[in-house]
Structure 1
C-alpha cells in the first residue's frame, strides 16, 4: 500500500506466518488471530495497537450477529425441554423400518434439529449423548456410530436457519433470507446421501432394523411433534414474508422453544433454564470473540490490499463459473481443515468474493458453495470440531473413526460437485418464492 512500511507480500507473510505459528503452539484460534495482528500494528507508523480492540469490537457490534446467541439458546432449550425427545420419536416412526434404523433416525433427527438450532456443535453434542451409547448397545461399531453422528451434525450449518449464513450475510452483505432458502435443497440432498450411506453400511455389516411403525404410532408421534416441527416454518416463513428480520426470528425461536419446554411439554424447571442460559453464554462468548478477532485480521488484510495481491494471478486465468466454483470449494475444503468456519468466512470469503464476481457467480451461489465446503471442515482433522465432540463422548480416538468418516464424506462431495455444476440447486427456491432475494 502506498505510504506503508510493509508491502502486501510482507504483511501477508507476517500475518499468516504468526497466525499458523500460534496454531502450532496450540493457541486457540480466536486468540491466535488477535495476536497475529499485533506485529503489523506495532511496526506500521500509521497504525497503532488500539486498532485491534477497535476493530474487534466493530466485528461483533452488529445487530445481525445478535441472532447467534439466540439460536444457540433455542437449541439448548430444545435439548433440556424435551423437544428433542419428541423429534426422536417421530423420526423413528418415519425411518425406523429402514436398514440401520437407529443410524437412520440419527440422520433424520439432524435434519429436524438443523431447522431449529443452526449450530452443528450443539447438534453433535446433543446427538452424541443420545445415539452413540444406544447404537453401541445394539451392536453398531463405535467408529460407525461416531462417524454418522458427527457427519450428520454438519447439516445444521447447511439447512436453514444457519449461524454461518447469518455471519455470511452480515459480513458480505448477502440476503440472509435468500441464503435460508438456498440451503434447503442442498441440505436435504446431503441428508438423503447420508441415509443412503447408512443403508449400504447396514446391509454390509448387518445392523439391526426395527419393525415398521403402525399408522396409529405414526399419527401419535406426528401429533406430539407438531409444535416442535412448526419452529423452522415460523423462522423461515417469517423471514420470507418479511414479518421479521433474522435477529427477530432468532428471538421468536427462543420464545417459542421456551413456551414449548415450560408450558406445553412441561419438562423444564428453573435448574434446566439456568443450565440453558449458562451454556448459551459460554458458547456465544467463544463464537462472537472469534468473529471480533477475525474481523480485525480481515481489516488488516484489506488495509494492505492482500486479497487483490493474492488473487491477481488467479483472476488472470479467466476461469468460468464452474471452474471458479471448484477452485473456491477446494480452497474452503483445505481452509476448513485448519480454521473455524466463522473466521474462514470473514477472512477467506472476503478474499475470494472478487474472484467469484469476476467469474459471474451469483452471490448466493458463491455463498452456498463456500458454506457447504466449510461444513466438511467440521469433521476433517486436524480441526474437525464435531468429530472431536463425538469421539470425546464415545471415548475413542479420532483416528479410530477417521476411515468411516472419510467414506461417508464421498457421497457428500458428489452433492457439492452437483451444487457447483448446477447453480439452480441453490437458486431455485429463492427464485420461485422470493425473487427479490436474488437482487
Structure 2
C-alpha cells in the first residue's frame, strides 16, 4: 500500500490517486475469490475438531513400516491434511506438535524431524483445495478449476520425492525404529475411522473436475459439510461447542480479511508496474542476457527463493505473477495454468529456504532445536522440491495432463 501510494504521488505518474481505492476494491471483487473464506472456514472447523490424529493413524498404518517410518507418516499426513487446510502454516502448526515429539522419541534427530515437518508442510498449499491457488487464479484471471487439477500431480510428486529423501537419510544414518507391516485389516480399520475427513478432498475434486460445481460452490459445500461434521462430533465426543464454532468464524474472518487486504494492495502495485511497462522491460532485459531455457529457469528460481524468504508469499504471487508472466510464457514456453502452479510452488519454497524461511521458525521451537541446525537439515528436502519445480517447468504434462483430461484445458 505504501509503495503504491509513493508511486502515485512522487513518481511523476499521471495515474489518478483515486485508482488506489478503485483498483483495490476491483481486485478483490471477484466471485472466484469468494472460495477463499469457504475453504479457510473448512480448515478452521476441522482443525478445532482435533481430527489430525485420525489422519496420522491412517498414514502410520499405510507407510509406518517402511524404513524411516515416522518421517513417511509425517509426509503422508501432510498430503492428507493438504486436502483439508490448503495452507502451509496451518499444516506445520497442526502436524508439528504431534509428529515432531513422536519422531524424537523414536530416535530421529530433532533438526531432521523439524526439517521433515517444515518441508512437507509445503504440500498443504499445492494439493487442492489450495488457498494460494485460489488467490493466484482469482487475481490473475486463470481458471481456478484448472489450477486445482494442475496441482494434484505436483503435490503427489513433492510427497514422493520427500519420502525418497527421508528413506535414504534414515537408511544410511540409521534414523528411527523399525516397525513391521500389520496387514491390510489395520489399514482398512484406520481408513474407515478417518473416512468422514478423507472424503472432503475427494468431494471437492470430484465436484470441480467433473464440472458439477465451481470452486466457490465446492468451498461452500465443504464448509457446510464441516459444520455438520462438527455438530455430529460435538454431540458424540463433546469436543466442539458453539463457542468453538464462533472462534472458527473469527479465525476465518482474520485470515480472509488479512489475505484480501494483501491481495487488494498487491494488485494495485502490480497494475502500477504494468502501467510503467515493467513486465515488458524485464522481459527484454532477461532475454538480452540469455535465451537458454535452463538458465532462464535458474534465474527465476533463484529470484523466487530470494524474495520468498522475507516477503509474504501471497503478495509475491500477485506482484511478481504479472511481472514474470511474459518471461515464463515467451521465454520458457509455459501455459498460463502451468505458470500459475510454477509461480506458487516456486515462491512457497521460500518459506523453508534458509536462513529466513518462516516455517523454520515454527517447527524449530517445537523440536527444541536451533534455526541453524534446522536450516542445514532442510537443504536436502529443499533440493528434492526444486527437482519437482524443474519438472513443472519443463514437463508440461505434470501440470496439464489432468486439466486436459477433465476438459478444462483444450
Instruction: Verify same fold: TM over 0.5.
Output: yes
C-alpha displacement of 1:383: 4.4
Deviations 1:208-233 (A, max 9, x none): 13332233322211111222111111
Counterpart position of 2:279: 307
C-alpha displacement of 1:394: 3.5
C-alpha displacement of 1:56: 2.6
C-alpha displacement of 1:356: 2.7
What is the rounded CA distance, in whole Å, between the counterparts of 1:78 and 1:85 in structure 2? 12
Counterpart position of 2:108: 140
Match of 1:243 among 195, 209, 212: 212
Is 1:189 aligned with 2:157?
Answer: yes
Counterpart position of 2:60: 92
Is 1:170 aligned with 2:135?
Answer: no
Q: Are 2:120 and 2:159, in contact at CA under 8 Å, matched by a contact in 1?
A: yes
What is the rounded CA distance, in whole Å, between the counterparts of 1:180 and 1:338 in structure 2? 27
Give the aligned length. Answer: 404
What is the rounded CA distance, in whole Å, between the counterparts of 1:103 and 1:415 in structure 2? 19
Counterpart position of 2:341: 368
Q: Are 1:182 and 1:364, in contact at CA under 8 Å, matched by a contact in 2?
A: yes
Counterpart position of 1:411: 384
Q: Are 2:100 and 2:113, in contact at CA under 8 Å, matched by a contact in 1?
A: yes
What is the rounded CA distance, in whole Å, between the counterparts of 1:40 and 1:382 in structure 2? 31
Residue ranges of structure 1 left out of the alignment (5+ in a row): 1-33
Deviations 1:257-294 (A, max 9, x none): 22223215744222322332222222222222211211
- TM-score of the two chains, using structure 1 as the length reference: 0.86
Counterpart position of 1:18: none
Is 1:40 aligned with 2:7?
Answer: yes
What is the rounded CA distance, in whole Å, between the counterparts of 1:318 and 1:100 in structure 2? 43
C-alpha displacement of 1:58: 2.6
C-alpha displacement of 1:61: 2.6
C-alpha displacement of 1:315: 3.7
Is 1:64 aligned with 2:32?
Answer: yes
Match of 1:76 among 33, 40, 44: 44
Q: 1:392 to 1:425 in 2, by over 3 A?
A: same
Is 1:345 aligned with 2:286?
Answer: no
C-alpha displacement of 1:50: 4.3
Q: 1:355 to 1:79 in 2, by over 3 A?
A: same
Q: Are 1:72 and 1:122, in contact at CA under 8 Å, matched by a contact in 2?
A: no
Deviations 1:288-321 (A, max 9, x none): 2211211121121122222222222224567366
C-alpha displacement of 1:110: 0.4
What is the rounded CA distance, in whole Å, between the counterparts of 2:255 and 2:103 in structure 1? 28
Q: Are 1:83 and 1:260, in contact at CA under 8 Å, matched by a contact in 2?
A: no
Q: Are 1:332 and 1:373, in contact at CA under 8 Å, matched by a contact in 2?
A: yes
C-alpha displacement of 1:94: 0.3
Deviations 1:315-371 (A, max 9, x none): 456736665444433432333223222111111110111223324321122222222
Q: 1:347 to 1:98 in 2, by over 3 A?
A: same
What is the rounded CA distance, in whole Å, between the counterparts of 1:367 and 1:77 in structure 2? 28
Q: Comparing 85-94 with 269-278, which one deviates more in the overlay? A: 269-278
Counterpart position of 1:329: 301
What is the rounded CA distance, in whole Å, between the counterparts of 1:286 and 1:382 in structure 2? 25
Q: 1:202 to 1:237 in 2, by over 3 A?
A: same
What is the rounded CA distance, in whole Å, between the counterparts of 2:373 and 2:288 in structure 1? 43
Root-mean-square deviation (Å): 2.2
What is the rounded CA distance, in whole Å, between the counterparts of 2:116 and 2:269 in structure 1? 35
Residue ranges of structure 2 left out of the alignment (5+ in a row): none
Is 1:438 aligned with 2:409?
Answer: yes
Counterpart position of 1:218: 187
Q: Are 1:340 and 1:383, in contact at CA under 8 Å, matched by a contact in 2?
A: no
How do residues 260-279 of structure 1 correspond to structure 2 at under 5 angstroms? 260-263=229-232, 266=236, 267-279=239-251
- TM-score of the two chains, using structure 2 as the length reference: 0.91
Q: 1:84 to 1:196 in 2, by over 3 A?
A: same
Q: Are 2:100 and 2:367, in contact at CA under 8 Å, matched by a contact in 1?
A: yes
Counterpart position of 1:149: 117
Is 1:160 aligned with 2:128?
Answer: yes
What is the rounded CA distance, in whole Å, between the counterparts of 1:356 and 1:214 in structure 2? 47
